[in-house]
Copies of this chain bind each other. A is one copy, B any other.
Amino acid sequence: MLRTKRPAPDTAQRILEVAERLVQKRGFNGFSYADVARELGITTASLHYHFAGKAQLGEALLARYSERFSEALSVIDARPAAGPAKLEAYAELYADVLNGQRLCLCGMLAADYETLPKGMRQSVVTFFDENERWLTSILQKGREDGSLQYEGSAVDAARLIVSGLEGAMLVTRPYGDITRFRVAARGLLASLTRAGRSQAPAD
């Protein structure tokens, strides 16, 4: 039952890995079945055996990505850390993606949104909703235990974080300088760690 190293992933998994990278780098309209097949040394006909069409492949990519992201959030949840540290860990998830010269899958697909098959559209929105929900919970708890101070509602702050990090990835990538991203992320989170420092904001 024990596997020593990574067991050779089956073809469907390898297809998903290659396709995911291509979409994150080039966009949904910027890659083809032929690109994926070439990298794997198989034919496009084989690709169609595993994923009936590009739309189905895209939906599989989204399901996998969202699931993986949710697991990463659960890992952060399990840590005995305060609000600010959890937000930093969250931002680090994005930095890791950018470090691989990629955009967030759903950030990229948000750009491609108008051209996406219907099924994919809903999955993109759901991804953002789940991130927002998780962040809202963290922000709410942080406000209650005093580790986070911010103005406005927790959900608005959560949305600001999601869009701020997505935008920082988008704009940073052409510069090829991850520091640019980290500085933006730090600035973004700092405003939620120290805003409203005075208990009674002077209306």
Contact = CB atoms under 8 A, between A and B. Distances in A.
Interface of A: 25-27, 29-30, 103, 107-108, 110-115, 121, 124-125, 128, 151-152, 156-157, 159-160, 162-175, 180, 183-184, 187-188, 190-191, 194-195, 197-198
Given A110-B174, A128-B174, A171-B110, A164 B183 contact: no
A196 B26 CA distance: 40
A183 B156 CA distance: 7
Contact of A27 (B27, B124, B162, B165): B27
B183 A191 contact: no
A124 B170 CA distance: 12
Contact of A173 (B113, B164, B168, B187): B113
Nearest to A196: B194
User: What is the total number of copies of this protein in its complex?
Assistant: 2
A190 B151 CA distance: 9
Contacts of A160: 164, 168, 184, 187-188
A21 B163 CA distance: 23
A187 B110 contact: no
A198 B190 CA distance: 15
A26 B25 CA distance: 17
Contact of A167 (B26, B29, B112, B165): B165
Given A107-B170, A171-B163, A187 B157 contact: yes
Contacts of A159: 171, 180, 183-184
